[in-house]
Amino acid sequence: MKFWIKAFALFVSLSTIAPSSLAESEGKDYEAVKQNIENILRFEVLAIGDAPVPGLVQVSTNRGFFYTSVDGKFLISGKIFNVEEGMRDETEKSLAKLRLDGITDFNQSVIEFKAPDEKFVVNVFTDISCGYCRKLHREIEEYNANGITVRYLAFPRGGLSSKSYKDMVSVWCAKDQHDAMTTAKSGGSVAESSCANSVAQQYAFGQQVGVTGTPNIILPDGSMVPGYQPAHALLNTLKNI
């Protein structure tokens, strides 16, 4: 068996779909699958296409990344590993591409702490109330000194009704975002402010690509490092990707 499905987490039985409603071109029209997921589960389907395993479809939604049977009857949450390629994580490979594609939408709205002699750029999902996010930020000069540019994306862990969300909007809307970020992560208060911002969209994007906590570091190849890493450790990681 070429592929192994590991970490099988959930089967959700959906309504039966007649074969005639599926693809006429080798099963590659997934409209029926999309309709089932959106109409029954109320997930928003963002992308849908072939999975690396014959008989499965991979689906990116606003609630995460899933696989379905080609008839849309079953939803699978888990990972697919390629045994013949050294247990390559095929799910992570797909998610890495989604992360890199999606991050470009926020190029103008990240809060960037740029290295003077830039060698690497990482995107970090952060929450101003998170202890390890604060620890990472206290060492931002060390990251920069090692040639690592840090670009912050917002991920208020308590959701869009939390105080953290409101405070992060104020940071993103501050006249001096860098100063506001540093003040907030030092435990200080930031003047309440509002503006057109993408904090909610950044949070939603994080959920879509597997972010569940903070800090969460997206590397230049799209892979993800959950949790804090000191500058020297992150530099070693970056040199070896």
Those residues with Cβ within 8 angstroms of residue 139's Cβ, 6 or more apart along the chain or in another chain? 230, 231
| Residue range(s) of every CATH 3.10.450.70 domain in the chain | 3-89
Tell me the CATH architecture of domain 103-239.
3-Layer(aba) Sandwich (3.40)
Strand partners, 120: 148
Tell me what pLDDT residue 29 has: 64
pLDDT tens string, the chain, 241 residues long: the values are: 433 333 333 333 333 333 323 333 344 568 888 988 999 999 999 888 889 888 899 999 988 899 998 888 899 998 999 999 999 889 888 899 999 999 999 999 999 999 999 999 999 999 999 999 999 999 999 999 999 999 999 999 999 999 999 999 999 999 999 999 999 999 999 999 999 999 999 999 999 898 989 999 999 999 999 999 999 999 999 999 8
Q: Are 69 and 58 in contact (CB under 8 A)?
A: no
Tell me what pLDDT residue 24 has: 33
Helix (H, G, I), strand (E, B) or coil at 182: helix
From the list 228, 226, 10, 8, the residue with the least C-alpha distance to 99 is 226
Those residues with Cβ within 8 angstroms of residue 65's Cβ, 6 or more apart along the chain or in another chain? 58, 59, 91, 94, 95, 98, 208, 209, 210
Whether pTM exceeds 0.85 = no
Indicate the CATH number for domain 3-89.
Answer: 3.10.450.70
CA torsion sign for 121, 198, 138, 179 is positive
| Residue range(s) of every CATH 3.40.30.10 domain in the chain | 103-239
- Active site positions, annotated: 127, 130, 133, 157
What percent of the residues of the chain are helix, what percent strand, and what percent coil, each to the nearest 5?
35, 25, 40
Q: Please give the structure tokens belonging to residue 23.
A: 């693809």
